[in-house]
Amino acid sequence: MARSFNFSAGPGILPEPVLHQAASEMLDYKGSGMSVMEMSHRSKWYEDIQNKAEANLREIMGIPENYKVLFLQGGAHLQFSMIPLNLKNSGKADFWITGNWSEKAFQEAKKYISVQPVASGKANGFRAIPEVDVSMLSPEADYFHMTTNNTVCGTRIRGCDIPDTGKVPVVADMSSNILSEAYDVSKFGIIYAGAQKNMGPAGVTVVIIRDDLIRKTEPWVPTMLQYAIHADNSSLYNTPPCYSIYLCGLVFEWIKAQGGIPAIQKANEEKAALLYAAIDSSTLYKGLVEKKDRSLMNVTFATGSEDLDKKFAKEADALGMANLKGYRTMGGMRASIYNAMPLAGVEALVAFMKEFEAKNKPGC
């Protein structure tokens, strides 16, 4: 059976060379006589896998030495709680609310600290990134939280858009665009990302945290929710999601082989430009977010007819273009074109869009 072009928002598409390598090593990883799934996380075999994955991630992202890389579990959702529990000092935090997930992070942090929504796009359905001025920020905040890419609505915050917060650490959820474009890691106190959108399979969450933010927490904070515990134990305090980390490591190697993040970003910009051009030149399709804030990873659009949107997704799926139905709160369609989506996949989608429009435009 031929592989589909998988436009799923997550778990997302993985590079075929990574899947082929994982398949070839499934029963016997490099002469160990075992699958990575079966290995002890205390073994030398696995230690080498995790160390190599971390080294490659540090290289491709340019992670400074004064940052720890942690491989955790619980997804971004658990980070919504871990961050306020670990960074609490003044007990205040500022939030840039640009989509569903930053809203969820805000609501979760409210359980532990005082939070301020310095800017929110909720009133306009998160169809644009609200502007943030430094005058809106509190110099006493423990951190400033943001989400760099909004998977649901299809907006993004570029590195040049991030305000200068002074001594207040910037905490960024990069779950859906990590490794897709260049960011200066040194501008952040914490970067966290669930792997299942652009790094690997579900099950592992990467946390990149500056050393000075790894602090002693209040005694009642659960052991598994303390960054210091995981940092002191090299992410091996408990059994980690070994196989997911192994696959992430293969993805990091694949990115290096493509030429690193600069080359990946260039390819992503080409794919996104092709798809947005098809939307903008159409009389049937309309983009769902402001052009200046459009995501490179999640492209949202609609026909204006719910029935026609459903027909589009169904017919596309029959042609091997899967998971194009939009998120329930946005409707329409959503094409997630993560790093591993080949240009051919976007070209196939654009060709189908033109054919579908020709058959379904008003008056036909």
Residues assigned a catalytic role: 101, 173, 197
Q: Which residues contact 122 (CB under 8 A, 6 or more apart)?
A: 97, 103
DSSP bridge partners of 97:
120
What does the DSSP 8-state code read for residue 3?
Answer: P
Query: Of 304, 309, 361, whose CA–CA distance to 335 is shortest?
Result: 309
Token duo for residue 156: 């993004």
Query: Of 294, 290, 278, whose CA–CA distance to 347 is shortest?
Result: 278
Asked if 208 and 178 touch (Cβ cutoff 8 Å), the reply is no
Asked if 122 and 103 touch (Cβ cutoff 8 Å), the reply is yes
Phi, psi of 348 (to 5 degrees): -65, -40
> Within 13 A of 324's CA, how many CA atoms are on the CB side?
27
